[in-house]
């Protein structure tokens, strides 16, 4: 049996590619290959089980990194409205939260996987699970690790990247493309925790706050994020801190000095003196309670070398208030690393953009081969942008692969 289109990987981009290819006028015969025993394993873990599947701003290129040239045509062809309409056509409604993040109306990632799985069945798309692709020949003969082979006229590679290893991430897609002569740019973790010197943060473990965080590369500010930041026993987590991971990993790999400046709350030395004078009798254990959470306030006093907490506010010296103001408005921590790629939400880097036609996502090296999703050198911000790229590029690759059948 020779299939018109064989798709490797039944994750977000692979299922979108299959459904969009099948809806073409020539109704190609499609086979979707998946190494796991079920489709959409990683999708189930997304958005803490709620699946933040897109974002109302997902059409804007500045939310993406890697190759903008490769990303732009697919994003322009598949704006958020089209992704919502795609899911509506499958029977799934989406809702936006106050920050524009799109979720399934049922608030369950499992619902997204179910409608995709059911639609694959209803649309007559063959799915082979437990088929771990280990060989892809230029003739489009595809071999599985257990010895089975299948043949396609077109192939769409949607095997994702090595991030999220415990949710099924692999390097297989990059290996298969490299075997066909495609170049792979260096891979870095994106959207994961930052490591600091542990003694600086360990006592703050578990404390979270909303504030700003700036990434400094050799002392120069290169990225600033505002949102939730949380201390953990080895460093910083929370959406705002994780957004710095990509640039931090790249800077450290180049041997740069990377630091994070925390703006916990905008308190100047003068403002703290004024506060001291307004609440002279309050004990230090509650001195910052009106500005930040009580526990964080106590830890900051400790870090500023101010003790004991049983002292009264009016005992605070100018020097102590100055140290405290520096910590509150610009506490700078040396970054020693990030969590590894396997633990990241997304892979930054991937199959080099120059080897693909951005209009069709077809390989320039091997016509008939298409790529989509995280395997390519495109990654997005936190907030639904990565899944948006997976759907948009999958739909684009599926449409173009089907159209290329004539
Ligand atoms: C914990 C977590 C939470 C996340 N939450 C969000 C979120 O809320 N919003 C968001 O936008 N993004 C989120 N992401 C990122 C998002 O999941 C990915 O960007 C997206 O899934 C990429 O889609 P893909 O189709 O390229 O790859 P994947 O979804 O990883 O799919 C690739 C598929 O290929 C299969 N495969 C791999 N190798 C082979 C092989 N050799 N043979 C056969 N099959 C193979 C894999 O098993 C997998 O099913 C999250 C990621 C993680 C890890």
Other CB atoms within 10 Å distance of the CB of residue 62: 8
Name the pairing type of β-strands 235-237 and 194-196.
antiparallel
The alpha carbon of residue 242 and the mean position of all alpha carbons in its chain are separated, in whole angstroms, by 9
Per-residue model confidence (pLDDT) at position 267: 87
Per-residue model confidence (pLDDT) at position 406: 75
* Ligand 1 pocket check for 148: Cβ under 6 Å: no
Question: Cβ(233)–Cβ(198) under 8 Å?
Answer: yes
Tens-of-pLDDT digits for all 406 residues of the chain?
899 999 999 999 999 999 999 987 778 999 999 999 999 999 999 999 999 999 999 999 999 999 999 999 999 999 999 999 999 999 999 999 999 999 999 999 999 999 999 999 999 999 999 999 999 999 999 999 999 999 999 999 999 999 999 999 999 999 999 999 999 999 999 999 999 988 888 888 999 999 999 999 999 999 999 999 999 989 999 999 999 999 999 999 999 999 999 999 888 999 999 999 999 999 999 999 999 989 899 989 998 999 999 999 999 999 999 999 999 999 999 999 999 999 999 999 999 999 999 999 999 999 999 999 999 999 999 999 999 999 999 999 999 999 998 7
Sign of CA dihedral 372, 375, 379, 385: positive
Per-residue model confidence (pLDDT) at position 145: 96
Q: Measured in angstroms, how far is the CA atom of residue 11 from the centroid of ligand 1? A: 6
Q: Which atom, in ligand 1's list, is nearest to the CA of 385?
A: 11
* Ligand 1 pocket check for 382: Cβ under 6 Å: no
Burial 204-227 (b: 16+ CB within 10 A, else e): beebebebbbbbbbeeeebbebeb
Sign of CA dihedral 58, 61, 64, 69: positive
**Contacts of residue 10, Cβ cutoff 8 Å, sequence gap at least 6:** 18, 32, 33, 34, 36, 39, 40, 127, 129, 158
Q: Is the CATH code 3.40.1350.10 the one for domain 2-188+345-403? A: no
The alpha carbon of residue 39 and the mean position of all alpha carbons in its chain are separated, in whole angstroms, by 20
Residue nearest to atom 5 of ligand 1 (CA): 46
Distance, in Å, from the CA atom of 354 to the CA atom of 101, rounded to the nearest integer, reads: 31
Task: List every span in the chain annotated with CATH 3.50.50.60.
Answer: 2-188+345-403
Q: Which atom, in ligand 1's list, is nearest to the CA of 52?
A: 8
* Ligand 1 pocket check for 133: Cβ under 6 Å: yes
Per-residue model confidence (pLDDT) at position 198: 86
Q: Which atom, in ligand 1's list, is nearest to the CA of 168?
A: 47
Q: Which atom, in ligand 1's list, is nearest to the CA of 169?
A: 30
Q: Cα–Cα–Cα angle for 154, 158, 160, nearest 5°?
A: 160
Q: Measured in angstroms, how far is the CA atom of residue 9 from the centroid of ligand 1? A: 9
Q: Which atom, in ligand 1's list, is nearest to the CA of 167?
A: 53
Question: Cβ(86)–Cβ(16) under 8 Å?
Answer: yes
Q: Measured in angstroms, how far is the CA atom of residue 158 from the centroid of ligand 1? A: 9
Per-residue model confidence (pLDDT) at position 15: 98
């Amino acid at each position: 049996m020779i299939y018109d289109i064989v798709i490797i990987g039944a994750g977000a981009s692979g299922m979108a590619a299959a459904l969009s290819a099948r809806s073409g006028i020539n109704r190609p015969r499609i086979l979707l290959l998946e190494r796991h025993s079920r489709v959409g394993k990683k999708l189930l873990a997304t958005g803490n089980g709620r699946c933040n599947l897109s974002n109302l701003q997902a059409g804007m290129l500045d939310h993406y990194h890697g190759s903008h040239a490769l990303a732009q045509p697919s994003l322009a062809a598949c704006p958020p409205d089209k992704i919502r309409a795609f899911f509506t056509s499958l029977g799934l409604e989406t809702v936006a939260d106050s920050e524009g993040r799109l979720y399934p109306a049922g608030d369950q990632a499992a619902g997204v996987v179910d409608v995709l799985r059911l639609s694959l069945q209803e649309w007559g798309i063959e799915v082979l699970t437990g088929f771990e692709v280990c060989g892809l020949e230029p003739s489009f003969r595809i071999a599985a690790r257990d010895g089975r082979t299948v043949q396609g006229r077109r192939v769409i590679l949607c095997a994702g990247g090595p991030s999220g290893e415990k949710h099924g991430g692999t390097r297989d897609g990059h290996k298969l493309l490299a075997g066909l002569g495609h170049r792979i740019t260096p891979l870095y973790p994106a959207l994961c925790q930052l490591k600091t010197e542990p003694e600086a943060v360990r006592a703050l473990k578990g404390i979270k706050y909303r504030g700003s965080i700036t990434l400094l590369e050799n002392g120069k500010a290169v990225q600033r994020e505002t949102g939730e930041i949380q201390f953990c026993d080895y460093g910083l987590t929370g959406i705002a801190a994780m957004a710095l991971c990509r640039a931090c990993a790249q800077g450290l790999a180049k041997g740069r000095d990377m630091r994070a400046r925390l703006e916990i709350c905008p308190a100047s030395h003068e403002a703290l003196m004024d506060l001291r004078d307004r609440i002279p009798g309050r004990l230090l254990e509650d001195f910052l309670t009106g500005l930040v959470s009580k526990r964080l306030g106590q830890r900051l006093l400790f870090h500023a070398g101010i003790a004991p907490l049983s002292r009264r506010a009016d005992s605070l010296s100018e020097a102590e208030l100055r140290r405290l103001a520096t910590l509150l408005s610009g506490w700078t921590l040396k970054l020693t690393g990030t969590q590894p790629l396997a633990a990241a939400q997304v892979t930054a880097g991937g199959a080099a953009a120059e080897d693909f036609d951005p209009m069709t996502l077809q390989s320039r090296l091997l016509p008939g081969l298409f790529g989509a999703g995280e395997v390519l050198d495109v990654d997005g911000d936190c907030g639904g942008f990565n899944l948006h790229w997976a759907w948009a590029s999958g739909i684009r690759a599926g449409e173009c692969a089907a159209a290329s059948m004539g």
